[in-house]
Structure 1
């Protein structure tokens, strides 16, 4: 049994090797092995699709947070520039 963690969840994939050490197996064991392999492929593809969907969600959330941070950064620069200008004018009046 193999266990793989994917974006906070755990996926367990089981496989069976009916004929260890034999190459070119035939009969029921080979058919069972092929069905097991196909099942594992489907499970892996489903896990990959779920992982990709979760990744896209995280990417969208990161993009939104990045845009918000950029807007706040611009606002902070504008306010800082205005305050520096006001301080400069006030300092000139005092002198």
Structure 2
């Protein structure tokens, strides 16, 4: 079961990685799906975090334009995915 789930996550991450300098209309929804799997067993969370790190790095320069393609909810999920949790919460 874990191998199948990780395979699915790898496929979703491939959709994000396929567009390193653009945000197609389906990509924000992929982040919503990935957000639901951050608490899955390893190696799923590390795969998601690596993809998010790459996304953040490659989209940083034009983020003002790219962020317009996300809804407020999608931006919140993306922020939750990219900001490490605090130990004081």
TM-score for the superposition, normalised by structure 1: 0.29
Q: Which has the higher helix share?
A: 1
Where relative contact order (Cα < 8 A, 6+ residues apart) is larger, the structure is: 2
TM normalised by structure 2 equals: 0.30
